[in-house]
Amino acid sequence: MAPSMEESLGRAAALDAEDRSAEASAERALAAKQALELPLDTSQTEKLMGGLAVLLHAKSMLESGASLEGLDNQLEAALHMARQGSRSRDLECQLLHTLSCVLLSQASPSSIDRAIEARQESAVLAVEAVVAELGWKAAGVKKAAKMAAEKEHSQLLNLAELFDALKYRLGASVADPAAEAMKSLFDAWASPSAGGPPVISEQDFLTRLASALAKVSAEDKAPDSNCKAPCEGGSGLSKLESEILALVAKEGASNWEEKLCSLQAVGLKGEDGLELTPDALHQTWLRIAPQIKKATEADEEMACGHSCSTCPTRHECQVHDALKDIEDL
């Protein structure tokens, strides 16, 4: 019986401890392969574990100097999988950063563009992960920012001075446990000073923090914010129609035989007594496509709580390409 993904990762860690790096690398590669073969109905926890498995494999490949061919596609797939699980901004951040390293090694114009984009997304998620860990209320921080703005002179503060100001403004019982998080946010937001350490005003820091807290809170409270698939379906679609749309988003509007196998593998059947066939799936797509095209062009909010412009899977989604030849009905 083949070992599970978790068992492969455990064995890799044990082999690393024994300095058996080649064998450990093989175990991580096996775990990554298992992760990328997980079925659509895998639990959210397993999807996060799958994303971690691919991340560990990719980091191992980068460190070893081995061939990176196809690793960018594996990381994109792992990123998509991780975003279907319970939200882990830290995992997404690391996947994006590692993806950017792989793409930069390819040195093609298209890969460099995506590498820069991934690195920027990673930086944003790194900040949001710290903010989410704080768990503070945006309203309270916004009130503190307003009070800081009422000061007659807004001074630029270094890290030590900012922390003293925050302890005065928020209370030591609030600020002291968050010292490490405050340093991370200071490093992200402060600006260089002439010949001195980075600086930021108390008002600017608190305003940025309040905005980030509000964004994180809104994302975490959004309905079904952890999308089950790219472009999960918009409003008014049946379960079968949503799954077809998810497959089109992932694979494009072709290979209907393979899509049929995927749907049958998760137990989906035809609706209204109709038999599921490749042609039936294609006709269903042609029927719902004008509705989807209208929603995407209007940038409407989908069932997952995102619009096309805010969707975390927008970079790999193939819906727009599939809709190019669809005329509105």
Amino acid at 140: G
What is the reported pLDDT for 220?
73
Residue 257 has pLDDT above 70, yes or no: yes
CA distance linking residue 311 with residue 209, whole number of Å: 23
Q: Which two tokens stand for residue 142?
A: 């916004």
CA distance linking residue 157 with residue 83, whole number of Å: 37
More confident residue, 6 or 269: 6
| pLDDT confidence bin for 305, thresholds 50/70/90 | low
Mean pLDDT to the nearest integer, 182-209? 91
Residue 253 has pLDDT above 50, yes or no: yes
Q: Alpha helix locations (H) across 3-151?
A: 5-17, 21-36, 44-64, 71-84, 89-106, 109-134, 138-149
Chain centroid offset of residue 137 CA: 23
Query: Do the beta carbons of residue 82 and residue 97 sit within 8 Å?
Result: no
Residue 233 has pLDDT above 80, yes or no: no
| pLDDT confidence bin for 222, thresholds 50/70/90 | low
> pLDDT > 70: what percent of the chain?
86
What is the reported pLDDT for 302?
61
What is the reported pLDDT for 268?
73
pLDDT one-digit tens code per residue, 51-98: 999 999 999 999 888 888 889 999 998 888 888 767 789 999 999 999
What is the reported pLDDT for 111?
85
